[in-house]
Amino acid sequence: MDNQAIAQGIREAAQRLLAEGLVDCVLGYEAGTVPMRERPFFAYTPEEALRLTWSGFCCNNLANFLIRRPQGETGKVAVVAQGCVSRNIVGLIKEHQLSREQVHVIGVASPGMLDRDKVQAAVGADKVISAAHEEGDELLVEGPGWQERLERKKVMRDNCYTCVQRNPVIHNELIGEESEPTHGGVIDKVAAPWEKLDPSERLAAFGENYQDCIRCYACRDACPLCYCHVCFVDEAKPQWCGKTQDEADVLTYHLLRAFHCAGRCTDCGACESACPQGIKVRRLTGKIEKDVREFYGYAPGLDEESVPPLSVHKPDDPQGFIK
Amino acid sequence: MSSNESFEPRIAAFFCNWCTYGGADLAGVSRLQYPPNIRAIRIPCTGRLSPTFVLQAFRQGADGVWISGCHPGDCHYIEGNLYARRRFTVLKSLLEYVGLEPGRLHFSWISSAEATKFQQTVIEVTEAVKALGPSKFLRKEIGMVA
């Protein structure tokens, strides 16, 4: 099924749900004001549901908006969810931020989302892109007086290469068919570049990776795991993390943010897509994801029963490093 | 390194109230000698220790951090140290992944009867941190103001 057909399926499902009054709103994507910038959209009426769309640029994680709904809205909500989003919904249910009855999941198999920065780089940084359409395995990029076909696989987001579950793990209805669960990438490779380094070189690589960070917190705000009412970066007494762009403050922020995602991060890539500076934010979360899998055999959100790894323990947990 | 011989590290030491703090007390009343480089911070349980504290210690100038609590199974709160063990495992791996020298972050289980283990561990931790020299990890370089 191509994107247009899936978009049509989403619109029909949304219209039906809203018309029958089964949900208060449908949370999906609509076209942005500029190309390659599909954005989250709350449809409250069947008419509004016509604005819903689906493409390879649906990079936001909609699970994030399930817990950041406008104040006073508590009714049932339908949400368009690909593999990672559904895993985050499972996570939110496990963390008691949502109940399963509260959400109607419109599942869609993820085509592997595209990275607009990679598209821009592929056609040339100085070119103005006026449209980008997917046609099967290709992306047709158009601008004033030119067009170019790119191989879809070459401009996919990094995290989509290493995805372990493209299909929604929970859904009330499925639009289109299920696809192959992975794109064939190896998730352990996310952390490999730094793991290969000599320990003495890692601190420099770490600093370099984050040197462009402007502390806008887009990575935090895009993340469906970050729902604390007061974030540690905003705490003042004691102040855990300075407000400046000094390397020490930037790195403290990223380390702690990543740690807070331990055993919870589904590698949805919303943080990297949201970063205006193109920072490889997943270098840290990817390492933690790998550790949690190796130490405790846990991958977040893949099933509804298992318990988050840092909220349980076993008598024989590894402890070789403890004297 | 010869330049480290005169270097006296500052080590933030987080001790659980029920075991290691008692062990430190016993080492004291037993007149056991150990290096004066640790700064003991009493916490109710190692389960109370947020990874934030560890980073804060490094940020504020600690050259090393040492966390010590009850042996697994002996926690005053039944299982606080077992949760902590998982947390520390992930934290230690993460910090070493980003370049913290392994010798700067130490963990131990010391009961309130193990005064000699306490003494030996202080010596071990201090020597390890001393060998590494002053820490630069997450430390803010503040420029001089005229």
Tens-place pLDDT, residues B15-40: 999 999 999 999 999 999 999 999 99
d(CA A225, CA A281): 15
In the predicted model, is pLDDT for residue A64 greater than 80? Answer: yes
A235-272 burial code (b ≥16 CB/10 A, e <16): eeeeebbbeeeebbbbbbbbbbbbbbbbbbbbbbbbbb
pLDDT at B1: 47
**Alpha-carbon dihedral of residues A98, A158, A291, A217, nearest 10 degrees?**
-60
pLDDT at B146: 59
Query: Is there a contact between A262 and B90 if contact means CB atoms under 8 Å apart?
Result: yes
Say if residues B64 and B11 touch (Cβ distance below 8 Å). yes
Say if residues A259 and B51 touch (Cβ distance below 8 Å). yes
Q: Determine the longest span between alpha carbons in chain A, in angstroms.
A: 68
Residues of B in contact with A252 (CB under 8 A): 55, 59, 138
Model pTM? 0.92
Query: Is there a contact between B86 and A195 if contact means CB atoms under 8 Å apart?
Result: no
Mean pLDDT of A297-311: 92
Query: Of A210, A211, A255, A296, which to mutate for an interface test with B (greatest number of B Cβ within 10 Å)?
Result: A255
Question: Element (H or E) spanning A28, and its range?
Answer: strand A25-30
Q: CB neighbours (10 Å) of residue B29?
A: 8
The pair of structure tokens assigned to A3 is 């994107």
Q: Determine the longest span between alpha carbons in chain B, in angstroms.
A: 56
d(CA B3, CA A216): 41
Task: Identify the residue whose tokens are 């926690």.
Answer: B75
Q: Bigger pLDDT: A69 or B91?
A: B91
Collect all residues with Cβ–Cβ distance below 8 Å to A62 and sequence separation of at least 6: A27, A28, A29, A40, A79, A80, A81, A85
**CA B33 to each of CA A167, B7, B63, B119: distance values in angstroms, whole numbers, following the listed order:** 62, 19, 21, 7
Query: Over the stretch B67-103, which tens digit does the pLDDT of each residue have?
Result: 999 999 999 999 999 999 999 999 999 999 999 999 9
Phi then psi for residue A315, to 5 deg, are: -60, -30
Give the domain B2-132 fold: Rossmann fold (3.40.50)
d(CA B64, CA B58): 7
d(CA A187, CA A208): 22
pLDDT at A163: 92
Mean pLDDT of A119-131: 92
Residues of A in contact with B96 (CB under 8 A): 199
Chain B closest CA to A250's CA: distance in Å? Answer: 9
| Chain B contact for A287 (CB, 8 A cutoff) | yes
The pair of structure tokens assigned to B20 is 């290691």
In the predicted model, is pLDDT for residue A317 greater than 60? Answer: yes
pLDDT at A262: 94
Query: Of A246, A288, A321, which to mutate for an interface test with B (greatest number of B Cβ within 10 Å)?
Result: A321
| Chain B contact for A200 (CB, 8 A cutoff) | yes
pLDDT at B121: 97
Alpha-helical (H) ranges within A174-280 are 192-195, 199-209, 218-221, 247-260, 270-274
Mean pLDDT of A48-57: 94
At B43, the pLDDT band (50, 70, 90 cuts) reads very high
| Chain B contact for A253 (CB, 8 A cutoff) | no
At A136, the pLDDT band (50, 70, 90 cuts) reads confident
Q: CB neighbours (10 Å) of residue A55?
A: 22
| Average predicted confidence (pLDDT) for chain A | 92
In the predicted model, is pLDDT for residue A89 greater than 90? Answer: yes
CA-based nearest residue in chain B for residue A208: B98
CA-based nearest residue in chain B for residue A238: B56
Chain A closest CA to B31's CA: distance in Å? Answer: 23
**CA B96 to each of CA B11, B46, B91, B122: distance values in angstroms, whole numbers, following the listed order:** 18, 20, 9, 21
| Chain B contact for A249 (CB, 8 A cutoff) | yes
| C-alpha count within 13 angstroms, C-beta hemisphere, residue A274 | 22
Residues of B in contact with A200 (CB under 8 A): 99
Collect all residues with Cβ–Cβ distance below 8 Å to A45 and sequence separation of at least 6: A18
- Omega before A144 within 30 of 0, i.e. cis: no
Query: Is there a contact between B83 and A309 if contact means CB atoms under 8 Å apart?
Result: no
d(CA A19, CA A34): 30
Mean pLDDT of A11-26: 95
Helix/strand/coil for B59: helix
CA-based nearest residue in chain B for residue A199: B99
Q: Which of A263, A284, A313 has the CB atom closest to B85's CB atom?
A: A313
**CA B51 to each of CA A4, B55, B87, B132: distance values in angstroms, whole numbers, following the listed order:** 47, 7, 8, 22
At A187, the pLDDT band (50, 70, 90 cuts) reads confident
Chain B closest CA to A63's CA: distance in Å? Answer: 26
**Among candidate residues A95, A40, A33, A92, the one with its CA nearest the CA of residue A67:** A92
Q: Which ipTM was obtained for this model? A: 0.91
**Among candidate residues A169, A110, A182, A160, the one with its CA nearest the CA of residue A301:** A169
Interface of B with A (CB under 8 A): 51-52, 55-56, 59, 72-73, 79, 82-83, 85-102, 106-109, 121, 124, 136-141
Q: Which of A194, A240, A317 has the CB atom closest to B52's CB atom?
A: A240
| Chain B contact for A261 (CB, 8 A cutoff) | no
Alpha carbon A124 to chain centroid, angstroms: 26
pLDDT at B4: 59
Helix/strand/coil for A280: coil
pLDDT-above-70 percentage for chain A: 100
